[in-house]
Chains A and B, each alone.
Chain A
Amino acid sequence: MNQLMTNDNAQPRHGSAIRRLFLMALLLVPALAVSMPASAREVTFSAELKPYYGDGAYLALYVTDDKGQYQGTLWVAGGKSKYYRHLRQWARGSNLSRSEYDGLTGASVQSGRTLNVTVDLADKLFDGGYQVRIDSAVEDLRDAPSDVVVPLTRDGAGTPVSGRGYVKSLRYDFK
């Protein structure tokens, strides 16, 4: 469930600070990472789920500003896009437009398991008032918008933050 991502532009533009470029290239040829803009860094997010009784959870991992305004999608776990509306905050921010999550989806995450997502984030996102959030939902159970909210700071790396829904904790680490 690892995924590489980079951004080419430190300048936020129309609420989208993150661009998915070089995606495949980075996956296949790690050497290319050298050519990556110096203003980005590789970050791994680990979201551990609580044990609960139900099917795999749908999760949306995305970036917002400090007011909770959607900025961009990092990852969506869950195969059926018709259920994405249950990831409500993210759904509203991304307007569920395909271009926002194309190529950034994977399987749903089972109870008690951990989702690891590795992305390249612009330096400027850290200590810039940005947050990473997870919306979660499980079939026949409640939806949990903003299940967990983690401010992006340089010092915050390695510190797990508890969720209120299905997410037990979310942490991020620099490489």
Chain B
Amino acid sequence: MLRKLHSIPGLVVGIFAIVLAISGAIMAIHPVLERSQAVVPPAGELSVAQLADRIVSHYPGTEQIKRTPSGSVIAYYTNDGSTGAALINPTTGNAIAPYEPSRFFRWVKDLHRSLMLGDAGRGTVGIAAALMSIVCLSGLLFLVRRQGGWRNLAKPLKGTLAQRVHTQIGRITVVVLLLSALSGTYMSATRFGLLPDASLKEPPFPTVNHDAPRAPVGDLKALRSVDLAQLQELVFPFPDDPQDVYSLRTTRGAGFVDPVTGDLLSFTPCPMPSGVYGLIYQLHTGEGLWWLAIILGIGALGVPALSMTGTVIWWRRRRSAPKSVGYSREDADTVILVGSEGNTTWGFAEALTTALIDSGSRVHLAAMNSLARSYPRARRMIVLTATYGEGDAPASASGFLDRLERMSDDLNLPYAVLGFGDRQFPAFCGFAKDVEHALARKGWPRLIAAEWIDRKNSQVFNRWSRRLGESMGIELSVNHTPERPATQPMTLLDRESYGEPDSPIFVLRFRPSESDMKNSRDTETRPFEAGDLIGILPPGSETPRFYSLASSSEDGVAEICVRKHQGGLCSTHLQQLKPGEEIQAFIQPNPDFRPTTGGSPVVLIGAGTGIGPLAGFIRKNGARKPMYLYWGGRNPNSDFLYRDVLTRCLEDKRLSELNTAFSRVEQGHYVQDRLRADASRLRQVINNGGQVLVCGGRDMAQGVMTALDEILAPLKLDVSALRAEGRYLEDVY
């Protein structure tokens, strides 16, 4: 709902928002420019009478003096029957320059407030401003929910590049944009009479009748008591008309001045609404508040990027939106329910549905929120769900637990739960676990044990599907890879072998195949960095295996470090691959696993082949930021990977320290033991804003986390706190 409230008005208002924002940003320069040209004496130094006197001595035919909110003083005069205007230096009364309002800003202003289309344009702009207010508010609330509360608003963002750019710009600019949109809406509503017109009502003209000559303007006492800083406008009486008077407008109100006696006549103070309108007008335009104008202008510049990234996000979601497949609720023997914020989980669910239907099941596929009270023919229920924020339900599952409570007690459906999540979040698969517990409390039999899938891991999904098939007595083969890009052939350049005979390790270097590069430019490898992933399809398999890259595209090769697993399809294939032979592969960006830019120190922790991306980061550390490597192997004589590279980097200071731990030697120990021994050093690095990157197997990662929690305890810190700040990153397999 919130998402719709954000995306639909956002799409409708898109192009208008860009026009309004760019023109608004240009207009924001105006108060700044105006202020820079004006001479503004300090308040209390100059009265309106003194100013008028000085101006009249230079321009006897002065008819009107205006002071803009920025402090510019403009005199309008007649000289020998022709009219003129001058920007005045108030301290001398002299002209700084002839005054001519900028045509360019005039044009931009017209575009901004009416799209050059008169009242129809003004109405359109007003509606656009109202929609933009809705977009800002819904976007803010949506972000708060996504981040898991207001406290987490400033925390690191997750998602695709477009999503991160969108939310990053959004959370920086939302306050300013909301201010602009709301004030613009208010001004438009006032213009069209939807809100009461708050402009100051003109006081009635007074009647004066003097035969006496007018006093010099500098002597008029009503004008002597008004400071220049309060002046808005002073209109001189018509020379030939003895009944005419001065009209005076100040920040406090409007009135008249008797040109003979100098008395203030029928002064009307500004009413409250007029002050409110003035304030809102000023907040919208930044007139007289050049610093606000700069903030408003910069905020507005975020709009084009927000609009475009927002459209991209919407389009991607739409393109991968779930198609309706399967049987009706009444006919189905298998009910698959999906809880998802994005569409990834739907992709897995559809693949599962298709495979089950192919093997003869009648599957009903629906969102978790559409859980019905009963399913007359159902024999099993399968729930696939993501988790939102800090263990919350995704949008399409928000009502699931309540509905489950109300379900018929006669039902006794065997169930299976599959959770999707990201282990970097503390509440990994939190909602999926709640669902599992709620189903268990129902007393229904468990079809197969629940499984938690980390970051769209299709291997785990396929394994789970096989088990599901076994429990149903069918052979179920589901091969689903979310958003797998097209593969390209890559040629093995060379290989190095390490490790012990029972567990060989090899470092492989690939290059895009030359034949392929000649054929088509489209298949050129996309740029990649160390830490990104390469997906490799072993022959005869549709499921890619992912390996972390130890090199970047600048190096011209894709380097990976692989340990052979017993019976592993892909690692066995890679073990037997000879230089010159080809594989099918693609690059998958992994931007969440990378050292931050800037000079903060980095602690790199890994074991075994986890050294790959870490060595890549070190090699790329041309800036010589402090990097401390903790790495665990088995035996320095067999599997000290990247020994030469690391030694070179130590010498030229790309690596500050190399700490190794070997487990299969006398008095062997693990990398977490090495961390504990170095506890005070690590606390110091973390205190200095250091960042921790961990790469390796799950058991090692768990051990490292426990060790670091102990090490950081004296600092009143732990891994989850660092993680929340984006200072603890993992690439775990």
Please list the residues of chain A having a beta carbon within 8 angstroms of any beta carbon in chain B: 53-55, 67-69, 82, 85, 88-89, 91-92, 95-96, 140-146, 164-165
A164 to B243, CA, bound (A): 22
B401 CB within 8 Å of chain A: no
- 11 A-B contacts, Cβ less than 8 Å apart? A53-B103, A68-B240, A68-B241, A91-B202, A92-B205, A140-B101, A142-B76, A143-B63, A143-B235, A144-B83, A145-B63
B197 CB within 8 Å of chain A: yes
B78 CB within 8 Å of chain A: yes
Neighbouring A residues of B238 by C-beta, 8 Å: 68, 89, 145-146
Neighbouring A residues of B240 by C-beta, 8 Å: 67-68
Minimum CB–CB distance from A81 to chain B (whole Å) comes to 10
Minimum CB–CB distance from B231 to chain A (whole Å) comes to 16
Question: When the two chains form their complex, are residues B103 and A142 in contact, meaning their CB atoms are under 8 A apart?
Answer: no
B82 CB within 8 Å of chain A: yes
Neighbouring A residues of B110 by C-beta, 8 Å: 55
Number of A-B residue pairs, CB cutoff 8 Å, is: 46
B353 CB within 8 Å of chain A: no
Minimum CB–CB distance from B3 to chain A (whole Å) comes to 41
**Nearest CB in chain A to that of B199: its residue:** A82
**Nearest CB in chain B to that of A162: its residue:** B81
Minimum CB–CB distance from B576 to chain A (whole Å) comes to 79
26-83 of chain B: CB within 8 A of chain A = 63-64, 76, 78, 81-83
A69 to B205, CA, bound (A): 14
B106 CB within 8 Å of chain A: yes
Neighbouring B residues of A69 by C-beta, 8 Å: 243
User: How many residues does chain B have at the interface if contact means C-beta atoms less than 8 Å apart?
Assistant: 24
Question: When the two chains form their complex, are residues B64 and A142 in contact, meaning their CB atoms are under 8 A apart?
Answer: yes
B350 CB within 8 Å of chain A: no
Interface centre among A85, A146, A164 (most CB of B within 10 A): A85
Q: Are A143 and B244 also in contact (CB < 8 A) when A68-B238, A89-B238 are?
A: no
Neighbouring B residues of A140 by C-beta, 8 Å: 101, 106
Q: Which of B76, B101, B202 contacts A96 (CB 8 A)?
A: B202
Question: When the two chains form their complex, are residues A143 and B64 in contact, meaning their CB atoms are under 8 A apart?
Answer: yes
Minimum CB–CB distance from A17 to chain B (whole Å) comes to 18
Question: When the two chains form their complex, are residues B202 and A85 in contact, meaning their CB atoms are under 8 A apart?
Answer: yes
177-212 of chain B: CB within 8 A of chain A = 197, 199, 202, 204-205
Please list the residues of chain B having a beta carbon within 8 angstroms of any beta carbon in chain A: 63-64, 76, 78, 81-83, 85, 101, 103, 106, 110, 197, 199, 202, 204-205, 235, 238, 240-241, 243-244, 247
Interface centre among B106, B199, B241 (most CB of A within 10 A): B241
Neighbouring A residues of B64 by C-beta, 8 Å: 142-143
- 10 tightest CB-CB pairs across the interface, nearest first? A142-B76, A92-B205, A85-B202, A82-B199, A53-B103, A68-B241, A140-B101, A95-B205, A164-B83, A142-B85
Neighbouring A residues of B244 by C-beta, 8 Å: 92
A145 to B199, CA, bound (A): 22
Question: When the two chains form their complex, are residues B106 and A54 in contact, meaning their CB atoms are under 8 A apart?
Answer: yes
Neighbouring B residues of A145 by C-beta, 8 Å: 63, 238
Neighbouring B residues of A68 by C-beta, 8 Å: 238, 240-241
Minimum CB–CB distance from B147 to chain A (whole Å) comes to 44
Neighbouring B residues of A54 by C-beta, 8 Å: 101, 106
Q: Are A143 and B202 also in contact (CB < 8 A) when A88-B247, A92-B244, A164-B81 are?
A: no
Minimum CB–CB distance from A99 to chain B (whole Å) comes to 14
Neighbouring B residues of A82 by C-beta, 8 Å: 197, 199
**Nearest CB in chain A to that of B242: its residue:** A67
Neighbouring A residues of B82 by C-beta, 8 Å: 164
Neighbouring A residues of B101 by C-beta, 8 Å: 54, 140-141
A63 to B631, CA, bound (A): 97
Question: When the two chains form their complex, are residues B76 and A143 in contact, meaning their CB atoms are under 8 A apart?
Answer: yes
Minimum CB–CB distance from B662 to chain A (whole Å) comes to 79
Given contacts A68-B238, A68-B241, A95-B204, 13 further A-B contacts (CB under 8 A): A53-B106, A82-B197, A82-B199, A85-B202, A92-B205, A92-B244, A140-B101, A140-B106, A141-B101, A142-B76, A142-B83, A143-B235, A164-B81
A125 to B518, CA, bound (A): 94
Neighbouring B residues of A91 by C-beta, 8 Å: 202, 205
A92 to B197, CA, bound (A): 22
A145 to B204, CA, bound (A): 18
**Nearest CB in chain B to that of A146: its residue:** B238
A93 to B64, CA, bound (A): 19
Neighbouring B residues of A143 by C-beta, 8 Å: 63-64, 76, 235
Neighbouring B residues of A88 by C-beta, 8 Å: 235, 247
A145 to B235, CA, bound (A): 11
A59 to B101, CA, bound (A): 21
Question: When the two chains form their complex, are residues B76 and A164 in contact, meaning their CB atoms are under 8 A apart?
Answer: no
A88 to B247, CA, bound (A): 9
Minimum CB–CB distance from A141 to chain B (whole Å) comes to 7
Minimum CB–CB distance from B75 to chain A (whole Å) comes to 10
Neighbouring A residues of B106 by C-beta, 8 Å: 53-54, 140
Neighbouring B residues of A67 by C-beta, 8 Å: 240-241
A20 to B106, CA, bound (A): 39
Minimum CB–CB distance from A52 to chain B (whole Å) comes to 10
**Nearest CB in chain B to that of A92: its residue:** B205
A24 to B235, CA, bound (A): 38
A140 to B68, CA, bound (A): 11
A164 to B82, CA, bound (A): 6
Interface centre among B82, B83, B85, B204 (most CB of A within 10 A): B83
**Nearest CB in chain B to that of A145: its residue:** B238
Neighbouring B residues of A141 by C-beta, 8 Å: 101
A82 to B199, CA, bound (A): 7
A142 to B202, CA, bound (A): 19
Neighbouring B residues of A142 by C-beta, 8 Å: 63-64, 76, 83, 85
A145 to B76, CA, bound (A): 12
Neighbouring B residues of A55 by C-beta, 8 Å: 110
